[in-house]
Structure 1
């Protein structure tokens, strides 16, 4: 079976969208009137807000990957211009750079 980046990005977009929607729903729930419970709920809200930020960042990355696909530059490293390894794209369909550049960036 060959890798279809459009389908992979669509699935990833759907996953991040569902995740963000569920988190927004949870953040919109009213807090308990009990002070101790409310303190715990506010801590949980901080975790949910961080998870929402991650989901929104994922949506942005997928959006950029879709643009690269439309422009014909999908699979090309945004740093060095070399092709991104197919296995990397299968594992991370929204990858912006090759493994070598990603390792350099993290170092």
Structure 2
């Protein structure tokens, strides 16, 4: 069983990765200098993918920040719906999850 300090370290590492990804996406947006219509169309398709990746990264960052808040409140590792402890296996896969398997969206 991992300690809360180990979970916090994992979340900090993931947060750093996401922030780096967001910076790379923003750099990519700024680097576009298409001159003709075909290049512009290709760039726009790529921009949509980058935008979606950026949104997903920002959503995961919000989940990580919420997990840090739960840690501060002593509620990390417990389902926000039922209050039961979240399984170690689930936290290994989704360390920022606020839900047990039974109360996860789509369960």
Partner of 2:19: 17
Runs of at least 5 residues in structure 1 that lack an aligned partner in the other structure: none
Deviation at 1:66, TM superposition (A): 0.6
Give the TM-score taking structure 1 as reference length: 0.91
Give the TM-score taking structure 2 as reference length: 0.91
Asked whether the equivalents of residues 18 and 61 of structure 2 are also in contact (C-alpha less than 8 Å), the reply is yes
Asked whether the equivalents of residues 65 and 94 of structure 1 are also in contact (C-alpha less than 8 Å), the reply is yes
Partner of 1:75: 77
Runs of at least 5 residues in structure 2 that lack an aligned partner in the other structure: none
Asked whether the equivalents of residues 31 and 41 of structure 1 are also in contact (C-alpha less than 8 Å), the reply is no
Partner of 2:106: 106
Partner of 1:27: 29
CA separation in 2, counterparts of 1:48 and 1:93? 25
Asked whether the equivalents of residues 32 and 43 of structure 2 are also in contact (C-alpha less than 8 Å), the reply is no
Partner of 2:57: 55
CA separation in 2, counterparts of 1:12 and 1:70? 18
Deviation at 1:58, TM superposition (A): 0.6
